Amino acid sequence: MATSTRRSRKPMTPEQQAAYEERREQIRAVTKKISDLSPEEREDMAREIGTILTCERRALSPFNCCMLAFQRPDATIVGGFRQWQQVGRKVKKGERGCYIWIPLGDRSTPGEAVPDERRFKLVAVFDVSQTEPLDAEDSDATLS
């Protein structure tokens, strides 16, 4: 039987829950604002922002570039917590992530005719300015 590598989280305090709900509503509002733009308007906005890359050197979609522009206008290279570790960096203590939408695999099973239903998940990413190089002792801890 495989065990999960994720740690159990402590229950949130009422203050943490309220802050979480507020942040969630802010992200929903940003997502709606961007969704209300036409594809051309999103493309124009993304062009003005410039290309934002992941730490794996993939360009973000115009939608996600717009998402980051509303949350962190100075973002240049972003990655998730573990992505940064894989490239030899760590997120600085106390930094707050920005959120983007990533596509999930489709739900269809092989041989089953299912309409193309794309699903997305909201994930936190951090700009390179929110990271620092891993120390030798940090890199040993991530390998175990």
Backbone angles phi, psi at 84, to 5 degrees: -65, -40
**Residue with token string 């733009």:** 37
Q: For residue 126, what are its two tokens?
A: 């951090």
pLDDT of residue 90: 97
pLDDT value, residue 106: 63
* Contacts with 100 (C-beta within 8 Å, 6 or more apart), sequence order: 60, 64, 67, 68, 78, 122, 123, 125
> Per-residue pLDDT for the chain (144 aa), expressed as one digit of tens each?
444 455 667 899 999 999 989 999 999 999 999 999 999 999 999 999 999 999 999 999 999 999 999 999 999 999 999 999 999 999 999 999 999 999 887 666 566 655 567 888 999 999 999 999 998 665 555 544
pTM for the predicted model, two decimal places: 0.76
User: According to the model, what pLDDT value does residue 5 have?
Assistant: 55
Q: Domain boundaries in the chain?
A: 15-109+116-143
Distances (CA, A) of 76 to 22, 81, 125, 126, 130: 26, 16, 12, 10, 11
